[in-house]
Amino acid sequence: MLLHSIKELRELRKNWRGLKVGLVPTMGALHEGHLSLIKKAKETCDKVVVSVFVNPIQFGPAEDYDKYPRTLDNDTVLCEKEGVDIVFAPTPDEMYGSGNRLSNDTLTYVCPPFFYVNKLCGKTRVGHFDGVCTVVLKLFNIVQPDYAFFGQKDAQQVVIVKKMVKDLNVPVEIIQCPIVREESGLALSSRNKYLSDEGKQKALALSKILNNIKSCYKRGITDIKGLKETAYNFLTEDYELEYLEILDKNTLEEQEYADNNSIVLIACRVENVRLIDNIYLED
């Protein structure tokens, strides 16, 4: 069932008392990665809601909000095939109020701690995680799920959402699901659609860098500077590396040496498409 109205969703939600409800928040352009989250939600819950909402307040002025792929008809068909109970696809006016300028002088924002956002994606995408936390908390309040399902590819986002849920006593359990990759190793992303075939081949450098660092760690190398330096064998002038970091996977704290709690995270532009990926050093 496709719904656009918060009121309609809340009315239906009243009939689900006593049932386990799962939410899969997405921005649409669904692919196998999203479908893996939906499958996990179906296994875990009695009822599943998938939100499809390209959230304007998590995009910066120079980012790709206007050209972000919007494929609601196809997304709805995919959700129906997976047995999703509700596809919730509100407009920005429905979510934030008609005429709202979507700035923090007119809208209440949820702002996660500076420690968690002043690194990785948050360092260059200023305000991004304020927008993420605001829309996620609104979806939690609207849907009132027992569980919410997020992909590991957005690892910083998952850590921040878990922190928000803990700090604000939100009664939702966050379920993190593994990255889904193409057969080549490229992490699935809606932004992969922007890449040419040649660009997709170049983008494989991200997963190669991550796997090589993990292989070096498994051979006993724990010096973080040394592990990061192995990446430069894969990078040429075709790549614009934004960051490569090895941090504690639960807290995003910097580490003196890599260990089994480490996660390697990378962001890189290929054909001017910003791609992210990560890998845990522990199997």
Please say if the pLDDT value at position 102 is more than 80: no
161, 93, 70, 67: CA torsion to nearest 10: -90
Structural domain span for residue 218: 190-280
The pLDDT tens digits for 211-261 are: 999 999 999 999 999 999 999 889 988 899 999 999 999 999 999 999 999
The pLDDT tens digits for 9-65 are: 999 999 999 999 999 999 999 999 999 999 999 999 999 999 999 999 999 887 889
The pLDDT tens digits for 173-199 are: 999 999 999 999 999 998 898 999 999
CATH number assigned to the domain comprising residue 215: 3.30.1300.10
Separation CA 97–CA 99 (nearest Å): 6
Question: pLDDT averaged over the chain?
Answer: 95
> Is 143 found in the same domain as 33?
yes
* Whole-prediction pTM: 0.94
CATH number assigned to the domain comprising residue 111: 3.40.50.620
> Is 169 found in the same domain as 195?
no
> Is 110 found in the same domain as 234?
no
Pairing of strands 47-52, 21-26: parallel
Q: Please provide the distance, in angstroms rounded to a whole number, between the alpha carbons at the two ends of the chain.
A: 39
Please name which of 37, 2, 43 lies closest in space to residue 23, comparing C-alpha atoms: 37
156 lies in a domain?
yes
Mean pLDDT, range 84-107, rounded to an integer: 86
> Is 24 found in the same domain as 153?
yes
218 lies in a domain?
yes
Overall number of domains in the chain:
2
Please say if the pLDDT value at position 100 is more than 70: no
> Is 205 found in the same domain as 161?
no
Please say if the pLDDT value at position 99 is more than 80: no
Please say if the pLDDT value at position 279 is more than 90: yes
- Sign, CA dihedral 49-131-137-36, equals positive
248 lies in a domain?
yes
Helix (H) or strand (E) holding 73: helix 72-81
185 lies in a domain?
no
Separation CA 259–CA 221 (nearest Å): 10
> Is 247 found in the same domain as 132?
no
Residues with Cβ within 8 Å of 78's Cβ and at least 6 positions away in sequence, in order, are 30, 35
> Is 141 found in the same domain as 233?
no
Boundary-marking domain end, from 149, 177, 205: 177
Please name which of 147, 123, 122 lies closest in space to residue 133, comparing C-alpha atoms: 122
Catalytic-labelled residue, pool 4, 31, 34, 128: 34
182 lies in a domain?
no
196 lies in a domain?
yes
> Is 54 found in the same domain as 28?
yes
Q: Tell me the angle at which helices 128-143 and 155-167 cross, rounded to the nearest 10 degrees.
A: 60
12 lies in a domain?
yes
CA 282 to chain centre: 21
Confidence (pLDDT) at 18: 95
4 a catalytic residue: no
